[in-house]
Amino acid sequence: MSDQRSIFRRSRNLLLVFLGVLALAVAMPAVADNAGGGNAQDDSLIAADFAAGAVGATGDGGPGPTGPAGPAGPQGPTGATGATGAAGENGTDGATGLTGKTGPTGKAVDRSTEGATGDAGPAGPAGPRGATGATGATGAAGTNGTDGTDGTDGADGATGPAGSQGPPGAAGATGPAGSSGTFTVRTTTFDKAKTVTASCNAGEVAIAGGISQSTNHQIRESIPYKGGSPATAGETAADAWYVRLNKNADGTSYVICQS
């Protein structure tokens, strides 16, 4: 409604301006004649006409009645689809319908004309394999089996490193007095040799031995000999003393012989 009033006022103002301009156009020739010394009666008529054509003051009657509605404009584009509304509540259940009428009784089947039962058909193909069943519960523990035979002994391990030397043992009991005899030192010199043997004379027994050397090489063995071989435990009457060095050396070998 306010838009219609604004349009009406603008149209009215334009009309008043147009009428004012038109009145000025009519009055301008009369003003020119009057300036050139024209007829006074004509001047008065023109003035009267000019006065009659003046624009009156704006009335306060307000806007006129609303004009008839214009024709409908073209349909606008389809708006976007609105959001789906919430689901409505379920309606109440309808009343139970009436029970229908009982149908007519069917005719009895005459089975006297039925043939004998046919032979069983062949077995159908195997059906698809079923899904694997759930794992069964764990069964009770079985009884222990009999012990197996003992395995063979493993090979002996490598010899371990030598242990540290133990404390000295207690002194043994004094042995019986030996028979009196004569002790003689026998010697043998050697030159650039690693092994050397100092021997007793026939009938003598070797009871101790050793060497002296100029190079201070390490002694590997220093043992009694009997018959050209190392004397073993329990043997008596060794006849020589054997010494082996780690390198060739020069020196003298000794043996103490008892006769």
CA dihedral 236→239→243→244, nearest 10 degrees, is: -90
Distance between CA atoms of residues 195 and 230, nearest Å: 13
Q: CA 176 from chain center: how many Å?
A: 87
Asked if 179 and 236 touch (Cβ cutoff 8 Å), the reply is no
Distance between CA atoms of residues 164 and 207, nearest Å: 29
The domain of 187 spans 183-258
Q: Quick: pLDDT tens for 54-91.
A: 555 555 555 667 778 888 888 888 888 878 878 878 77
CA distances from 217 to 146, 195, 213 (A): 64, 12, 8
Lowest mean pLDDT among 9-18, 153-162, 187-196: 9-18
What local confidence, expressed as pLDDT, does residue 249 receive?
93
236 domain residue, yes or no: yes
188 domain residue, yes or no: yes
What is this structure's pTM?
Answer: 0.32
Average pLDDT over residues 197-203: 95
For residue 250, what is the enclosing H or E element? strand 240-258
23 domain residue, yes or no: yes
Lowest mean pLDDT among 4-8, 110-114, 200-204: 4-8
199 domain residue, yes or no: yes
Average pLDDT over residues 198-216: 93
Q: CA 9 from chain center: how many Å?
A: 80
Higher pLDDT, residue 104 or 174: 104
203 domain residue, yes or no: yes
Q: Which residue has the tokens 């026998």?
A: 186
User: Number of structural domains, the chain?
Assistant: 2
- pLDDT of 250 higher than 90: yes
